[in-house]
Amino acid sequence: MATPLSLKELSKKETMITGGHRMCSGCGAPIVVKMALLASEYPVVVANATGCLEVSTCISEYTAWNVPWIHNAFENAAATLSGVEAMYRSLKKQGKINSDIKFIAFGGDGGTYDIGLQSLSGAMERGHDMLYICYDNGAYMNTGIQRSSATPLGADTTTCPAGTCVSGKPQPRKDLTRIMAAHGIPYVAQASPSHWSDLMKKVRKALEINGPKFMNVIAPCNRGWRSRTDDAILLSRLAVETCYWPLFEIENGVTRVTVKPKEKKPLSEFMRPQGRFKHIFAPENEALLKQAQHDIDAYWERLLKEEAFTAPPEPGQ
């Protein structure tokens, strides 16, 4: 069993990703990484897909990583970590390694939802003991804000720019968290850096489970979202409170919504501070805003029903 999180304990732990890396000020991704590594009670080896996080944290001769770290290419963090984890099992079986080591992959939404989906699916199906964490900022931010399959409906990106004929991205997001759950792996979760305790508990729980685990974590990007530099936590909180980014986990097929907003805020509160949605508020795009709100509502309702169906209240409650 994972030990409970306490700020006292966390304050004494060494940060495994150092300051001084070259991520943009206000970026959500390194916050997610810092929390995830802080949550681990084991030594970890990290694999990193090509992307902002990778390109900004290990520029020769410097590295921000206090843990063993490997970057291979864009689409293969999960396959690369499969190899590391298999070598660990081989050497452990041969008595050449005695310590317990955990394996975490980090990839952005481009490297996870899109180009890395096959290698991720393969690694999950093969049952490697690893936790894959997607930091989802909803576009190819590293190459300059191109649309990905994680880009939300209507968002303005450099490859689906809002214009007179096209109002940003015409399609809704791919539901990767559920695709991963459909692999039947023991643990899948969504988290947000605004809810640090929820995020870190999920990481700690995941690392206690043997086998493949997946977490999807929202990670605001002020460059791509065209928001204030210091709004990463505020926006990720609004993503949770509007149910744009529900916090839930699916453990051995049982769904549990881990944070239920007291009052579900309208989606527009999440969208309005972001320049990528500016055009959505024009009168001619009213239908698009309605559609986006409808999609969010439907997803939330379905999630609650799923929770009630898979995890009925304990008898007597």
Partner 1 sequence: MSASRVVAVTGNESVAEALRQVNPDVSAAYPITPATDIMQRFTHYVSNGKVKTEMILVESEHSAMSACIGASAAGGRVMTATSSQGLALMWEELFIASGYRLPIVMSLVNRALSAPINIHCDHSDGMGARDCGWIQLWSENAQEAYDNTIQAFRIAENMDIRLPAMVCMDGFIISHSIERMEYLDDDAVRNYVGDFKQLYPLLDIAHPVSYGPLILSDYYMEYKRAHAEVMSKVKHVVLDAASEFERISGRKYGLFEDYRLDDAEIGLVVLNSAAGTSKDVVDAFRDRGIKAGLLKPRLFRPFPYEEVGEALKHLKAVCVLDRADASGASYGPLFMEIASSVSPYSPRPVLLNKIYGLGGRDYLPGHAESVLSELAEVAATGKVRTFKEYIGVRE
Radius of gyration for the chain, computed over Cα atoms and rounded to the nearest angstrom:
19
Applying CB under 8 A, which part among 75-83, 137-145, 185-193, 233-241 lies near partner 1?
A: 75-83
Applying CB under 8 A, which part among 32-40, 71-79, 234-242, 247-255 lies near partner 1?
A: 71-79
Q: With CA atoms as reference, report the closest residue to 189 among 177, 179, 205, 201.
A: 177
Q: Does 93 bind partner 1 (CB under 8 A)?
A: yes
Work out how close the CB of 115 gets to partner 1 at its nearest, in angstroms, rounded to a whole number.
Answer: 10
Among 9, 86, 272, 275, interactor with partner 1 by CB under 8 A? 86
AA letter at 218: I
Work out how close the CB of 76 gets to partner 1 at its nearest, in angstroms, rounded to a whole number.
Answer: 4
Contact criterion met (CB below 8 Å) for 84 and 103: yes
Work out how close the CB of 97 gets to partner 1 at its nearest, in angstroms, rounded to a whole number.
Answer: 6
Provide the token pair at 19. Answer: 């300051």
Applying CB under 8 A, which part among 52-60, 156-164, 211-219, 271-279 lies near partner 1?
A: 52-60
Number of residues engaging partner 1 in binding (CB under 8 A)? 46
| Shorter beta-carbon distance to partner 1: residue 90 or 252 | 90
DSSP class of residue 5 equals P
Q: Does 45 bind partner 1 (CB under 8 A)?
A: yes
Among 40, 82, 151, 190, interactor with partner 1 by CB under 8 A? 82
Q: Is the dihedral of CA 146, 235, 133, 256 positive or negative?
A: negative
Q: Does 99 bind partner 1 (CB under 8 A)?
A: yes
Cα 177 to Cα 145: distance, rounded to the nearest angstrom: 22
Q: Does 143 bind partner 1 (CB under 8 A)?
A: no
Among 9, 15, 59, 286, interactor with partner 1 by CB under 8 A? 59
AA letter at 254: V
β-pair partners for 132: 105, 214
3-state SS, 120-166, equals HHHHHHHCCCCEEEEEECCCECCCCCECCCCCCCCCCCCCCCCCCCC
Work out how close the CB of 84 gets to partner 1 at its nearest, in angstroms, rounded to a whole number.
Answer: 4
Angle at 232 between CA 236 and CA 302, to 5 degrees: 10
- H or E segment and range at residue 70: strand 69-71
Among 24, 97, 233, 304, interactor with partner 1 by CB under 8 A? 97
Q: Which residues make up the interface to partner 1 (CB under 8 A)?
A: 43, 45, 47-48, 54-55, 58-61, 63, 65-73, 75-76, 79-91, 93-94, 97, 99, 101, 118-119, 121-122, 125-126
